[in-house]
Amino acid sequence: MNVRIPEDAWFKSSYSTQEAGACLEVANLTWSKSSYSGQQGGTCVEVADLTTAVGVRDSKDKTGPALLIPAAAWTAFVSGVRAGRIGHPAE
């Protein structure tokens, strides 16, 4: 899957040199904690909007792997949860 990270998320690393070809850019993504995550710290999920996909990670392991989900699949998942078709029944 090709993931498109928004242009404004990229910045030049302080380890880059001024010479051409020796530049390193890294993405500074904005991760948001789910409002459904527990306050006790054991069931926390964070998401990041990557334009064409959504990153999902465990908030206790911020440097660990993230699951990349295509944006359309994420939208369908969230809609299913809200409608009560996935997880707990709708209230």
Please spell the DSSP secondary structure of 53-73, one letter per residue: EEEEEETT-TTS--EEEEHHH
Low-confidence ranges of the chain (pLDDT < 50): none
Token duo for residue 75: 């939208």
**What per-residue confidence (pLDDT) applies to 76?**
92
**What per-residue confidence (pLDDT) applies to 73?**
92
Question: Taking phi first (over 0 means left), then psi (-120 to 50 degrees means alpha), and beta for anything else, what does residue 52 get?
Answer: alpha
Three-state DSSP at 81 gives: helix
**What per-residue confidence (pLDDT) applies to 54?**
87
Contact 59, 71 (CB under 8 A): no
> Which residue carries 């380890």 as its tokens?
15
- CA dihedral 50→53→86→82, nearest 10 degrees, is 50
